[in-house]
Amino acid sequence: MRPIRPAGPTRRHLVIAASAGAASIALPARGQGSWPGKPIRIVVPYTPGGFTDQMARLVQNGLQTRLGQTVTIDNKPGANSIIGVDAVAKAPPDGSTFGVVIAAYAANTTLYPKLPYDPKKDLVGVSLMGISPLLAAVNNNAPFKTARELVDYARANPGKVSFGSSGNGSAAHLTTELFKAITKTFMVHIPYRGAVPALTDLMGGQIQLFFDAAVGLINQGKQGKVRLIGLSHDKRLPAAPDVPTFIEQGFAGFMGSTWAGMLAPAGTPREIVRRMSDEVGRIIRSEETRARLDAMGTFGSGGTPEEFDAFISAETAKWAKVIKDAGVKPD
C-alpha cells in the first residue's frame, strides 16, 4: 500500500505556478486594464505631406508596435494651426488624443491675442521630437554670394533686397526679421501662401532671399537652382555639410528653426504623458528614425515633458520680442 502524500503543491505544480506568475508579470500593461485601452488619435493641424505631418507619421508605426494599439493621424488644417490645436485642447484628457505642432504654435500666442484655447492652461508638453534649422537661399544672379556680402549689400542699399516667406508670422518670416534685427538691415518682406510659390519666385529672381526648412531647399541647392549661404543653427547639417552656419560666419547667436513636438490635453494623467514621452523618445533616437531625420535636415530630440514645456516657454518669449519689435501682424 502506497503512503498517502500530504495534500498540497508538488514541485511540478510550483514550477508551473512560478512560470505562470513570471508570464503574468511580463504581460503588457494593457492586459491589466491600463493605458492605452482604445485607439490613439494624433491631430496634425496642417495638410498631409508637410513637415508637421511627416514628423507625426515618423512615429506612428513605432507607437502602434510599442503600445499595441491603433494610432491614427487626423489632419485638421486651418487658421495657422489654431483649428487643430483647439481640437486637441478640447479633447477628453484620457490619453486617446495627442497633437503634433511646430514653431507657429509658440508664435501664435503673441500673433493672436484671443486664441480659443489657453496654451498654458489647456495643453501640456509631451516631447520635443525634432528641430529643423532654417537654411538661407539666395537667387543665383543676386549681387551677393555669401552671408557677409548680403549684409553689406543690404546696408548699402536699404530696401533693395526683398525676402520671401511662407506667410506672415511663419518661422521663415520671423527668422528673417530676427536676422534683420541682428544685422541692422532693412529688407522688404513679401509673404506667400506657402513655401513652394516663394521658392519659385526666388529661382525666378522676383525675390532675392528666402529662409526655409532644410528639407525644402537642400535639393535645389545641390542642383544649382539656388545658392545656399548659411544655416541658422550652431552646428552644420549632415545633409548639407558644405553650408556653414551663420554663427561660423560671424553672426553670433543667430539661430532660427522650425521644430516639431507632441502635446496632450491638460489633465491627461501624468503617467500617460510620461509613457508617451518615453515611447516617442525611443523611436526618435532609433537608428532607423535618425537616418530619416538626417535626410530631412532635422536634428532628433525626444526630451521629457518638462523639457518640452520649458522649450515652448523660451520659444514663445523669443518670438514675442521679434514679433513686437518688427510689428508683425497675422494675415
Q: What is the mean pLDDT of residues 99-106?
A: 96
Give the pairing type, strands 71-75 and 257-265.
unpaired
What whole-number distance in Å separates Cα of residue 129 and Cα of residue 261?
5
**Does 276 have pLDDT greater than 50?**
yes
What is the predicted pLDDT for the residue at 23?
A: 36
Q: Are 125 and 312 in contact (CB under 8 A)?
A: yes
Average pLDDT of the segment spanning 227-234:
98
Cross-strand bridge partners of residue 99: 43, 263
Tell me the average pLDDT across 176-184.
Answer: 97
Closest CA to 137 of 273, 272, 240: 240
Higher pLDDT, 283 or 34: 283
Please name the residue that has the C-alpha cell 490613439: 40
CA separation for the pair 162, 85 (Å, rounded): 32
- Which part of the chain is CATH 3.40.190.150? 39-131+257-326
The count of C-alpha atoms lying within 13 angstroms of the C-alpha of 175, restricted to the half-sphere facing its C-beta, is 30
Q: Work out the percent of the chain whose per-residue pLDDT is above 90.
A: 84
Q: Could you tell me the CA-to-CA distances from 322 to 9, 128, 302 in Å, in that order? A: 74, 22, 27
Cell 503673441 sits on residue: 110
**CB 39, CB 94: distance < 8 Å:** no
* CB-count exposure of residue 15 (10 Å: 0-12, 13-18, 19+): exposed
**Grid cell in block for residue 6:** 500530504
Tens-place pLDDT, residues 38-67: 999 999 999 998 899 999 999 999 999 999
Kindly tell me the sign of the dihedral angle through the C-alpha atoms of 185, 188, 193, 196.
negative
Using DSSP, state whether 178 is helix, strand or coil.
helix
Burial class (CB in 10 A: 0-12, 13-18, 19+), 34: middle
**Every domain range in the chain assigned CATH 3.40.190.10:** 133-231
| DSSP-derived secondary structure letter, 78 | -
Q: What is the CATH number of domain 133-231?
A: 3.40.190.10
Three cell numbers at 241? Answer: 555639410
Minimal CA–CA distance to 154: which of 251, 25, 270?
251
Question: Which of the pair, 3 or 145, is modelled with greater confidence?
Answer: 145
- State the pLDDT at residue 331: 75
What count of other Cβ atoms lies within 10 Å of the Cβ of residue 285? 12
Place 179 in a pLDDT band, splitting at 50, 70 and 90: very high
**32 band by pLDDT with thresholds 50, 70 and 90:** very low
Q: Give the architecture (CATH level 2) of 39-131+257-326.
A: 3-Layer(aba) Sandwich (3.40)
CA end-to-end span of the chain:
97
Instruction: Return the H-helix or E-strand segment holding 15.
Output: helix 11-26
pLDDT of residue 300: 96
Question: Residue 300, SS3?
Answer: strand
Summary mean pLDDT of the chain: 90
Amino acid identity of residue 83, one-letter, is I
The reported pTM is 0.84
Range of weakest confidence among 8-22, 115-129, 317-331: 8-22
